[in-house]
Amino acid sequence: MELIRILVYFIFGSFLLIYLALKRNNSYFSKRGILHDKPELFYGNLKEFTRSKTLYQIIREYYMKYKGSGRFVGIYLYMRKAMMLLDLDLIQDILVKDFGNFTDHGHYYNEKDDPISAHLVNLDGIRWKTMRAKLTPAFTSGKIKFMLTSVVDIANQLVNVLEETLSSTNMDDGVHCDDLMVRYTTDVTGSGVFGLKCNSLRNPNCEFIAITKKLCYYRHSWPIVALMTLFPNLFRKLKFKYINEEVSQFFLRVVRETVEFRDRTSEQRKDFLNILMELRKPNTVDNLTIDEITAQAFAFFAAGYETSASALSFCLYELALNQDIQDKARREITETIARHDGKLTYEAVNEMKYLLQVMHETMRMYSIVPFLVRKTAEDYIVSNTNHVIEKGTTVIIPMDAIHHDPDIYPNPEQFDPERFTKTEVENRHPMAWLGFSRGGRACIGSRYAEFQVLIGLSSLLKNFRFSPSHKTQIPMKFNMYKMCRGPEKGVYLKVEKL
């Protein structure tokens, strides 16, 4: 009886303590006179995210509500308190000028039990800085130029596979374009990163595609992610893993086997894995272990295939809805390739300025990630305010909301690549477009991403016309459960061979 009473007191006491801690946490902004929406006890300002709205919608509505009322606003992402920036000058300070105080993402990783989670996207501090410096040379124009031939080969395969698909597709429904784009970018990224022929264009049921399907969804719910970020050491002690075990084992095996094979045969390839292998310096503190190599290769793959596939799918979708823009892009492609002896060369791709505008406008309308995050290293005085962003605080840069701000982009829901002419870009604030982010932590693979997207697009538009089918979702809705923005019901388009 006594034991039961103690247990009841213990449970009641624990709940009371958690309740008081949450209450205290939720009073952070009001105590400091920082504007914010009243938080719910456990959800913070994200209650609707769990029920009805995407994170994109919530962040956009929050930004629009508070825009003009200050340089930043407070927001509770479940239990995690964050400062959402509203002012482009402040964003520039944090991403570029004062970057030294905002190098960290503050993501959870667990190197011991989940070795491939310790990759460039997740690392922070000096370990991130050293790794970034080592990996940056992998993305020079020269290295990317070397990879061009294999990207063009895969794009040719994409054209062949699409042509074959046409005969077996009911064109009232249209072709499942986003599925095809994931297969294209899986093959390109698999070849560019690991030098492997994934062959998913030919074989949609291959192992790589099965793995990518597990990779693109959240493994843990958002409240768990918030707790992992708040108490990383506790979660590490509990041996919590961020990455799905099957995905982890797959990449560890693929990299180990490939590295062993190349070491045995002294084979040299023009891919990222080769560059990572060259970074090994046995018996020095600088040595990159096999787990570290796998983690970085995994990051390139994970950060590269789905983002680029989404950019391609949304682009085809908008081009299908805007035939005049599609025609203009196709004219540029055909004329440029003709000037280069009918070949899709590195120089030809670089000359396709309008196509790049189309890509950047797509990434504006469909920001692949809703916001950027930074963790404050030391207390930061926000100029022209009475506020300090305290050490350890999360900073949110609402990229998608900025991309849809009508004061920056009039009529933001209209697809208009003319917004990205050189003059238009120069007339805007440099932080008005953050598709690949800015500053020292911006996307390391942006040039490579542009190449695989532009090569894919030019090969497709040169050979096919895309238009909406009765199954095309208009307006587009988005998948709530994917890590990066993806269509809710797929991108189905009519395709006609030219």
Tell me which residues touch ligand HEM (CB under 6 A).
Answer: 120-121, 132, 299-300, 303-304, 307-308, 311, 363, 368-369, 372, 435-437, 441-445, 448-449
Alpha-carbon distances of 321 from 365, 419, 459, 467, rounded to whole Å: 14, 18, 19, 7
Closest CA to 209 of 193, 237, 190: 190
| 339-347 contacts, C-beta under 8 A, 24 or more apart | 344/152, 344/155, 344/455, 344/458, 344/459, 345/148, 346/145, 346/148
Minimum distance, C-beta of residue 365 to ligand HEM, in the bound complex (Å): 12
**Do 49 and 55 meet the contact criterion of CB atoms below 8 Å apart?**
yes
Burial zone of 170 (CB within 10 Å; 0-12 exposed, 13-18 middle, 19+ buried):
exposed
Q: Which is nearer to ligand HEM, 26 or 459 (CB)?
A: 459
Q: Which is nearer to ligand HEM, 26 or 310 (CB)?
A: 310
Q: Which is nearer to ligand HEM, 132 or 214 (CB)?
A: 132
Q: Which is nearer to ligand HEM, 46 or 91 (CB)?
A: 91
CA–CA distance, 33 with 13 (Å, rounded to integer): 31
Minimum distance, C-beta of residue 82 to ligand HEM, in the bound complex (Å): 14
Three-state secondary-structure class, residue 87: coil
Minimum distance, C-beta of residue 209 to ligand HEM, in the bound complex (Å): 18
The token pair at 125 is 């501090």
**Do 200 and 186 meet the contact criterion of CB atoms below 8 Å apart?**
yes
CA–CA distance, 156 with 382 (Å, rounded to integer): 52
Residue for token pair 């979708």: 317
Q: Which is nearer to ligand HEM, 308 or 336 (CB)?
A: 308
Kindly report the number of other CB atoms within 10 A of residue 142's CB atom: 8
Q: Which is nearer to ligand HEM, 29 or 448 (CB)?
A: 448
Minimum distance, C-beta of residue 301 to ligand HEM, in the bound complex (Å): 7
For ligand HEM, the nearest residue by Cβ is 445
Give me the amino acid identity at 215. Answer: L
Minimum distance, C-beta of residue 305 to ligand HEM, in the bound complex (Å): 8
Q: Which is nearer to ligand HEM, 55 or 444 (CB)?
A: 444
User: Bridge-partner residues for 176, per DSSP?
Assistant: 492
Q: Which is nearer to ligand HEM, 26 or 271 (CB)?
A: 271
Minimum distance, C-beta of residue 29 to ligand HEM, in the bound complex (Å): 24
**Do 161 and 175 meet the contact criterion of CB atoms below 8 Å apart?**
no
CA–CA distance, 359 with 371 (Å, rounded to integer): 19
Closest CA to 228 of 107, 396, 121: 107
Q: Which is nearer to ligand HEM, 438 or 465 (CB)?
A: 438
Minimum distance, C-beta of residue 363 to ligand HEM, in the bound complex (Å): 6
CA–CA distance, 41 with 45 (Å, rounded to integer): 9
Q: Which is nearer to ligand HEM, 369 or 401 (CB)?
A: 369
CA–CA distance, 48 with 71 (Å, rounded to integer): 25
Minimum distance, C-beta of residue 68 to ligand HEM, in the bound complex (Å): 25
Half-sphere exposure of 381 (CA within 13 A, CB side): 3
Minimum distance, C-beta of residue 12 to ligand HEM, in the bound complex (Å): 43
Minimum distance, C-beta of residue 385 to ligand HEM, in the bound complex (Å): 23
Query: What helix, strand, coil percent values describe the chain, rounded to 5?
Result: 55, 10, 35
Q: Which is nearer to ligand HEM, 120 or 288 (CB)?
A: 120
Minimum distance, C-beta of residue 120 to ligand HEM, in the bound complex (Å): 4
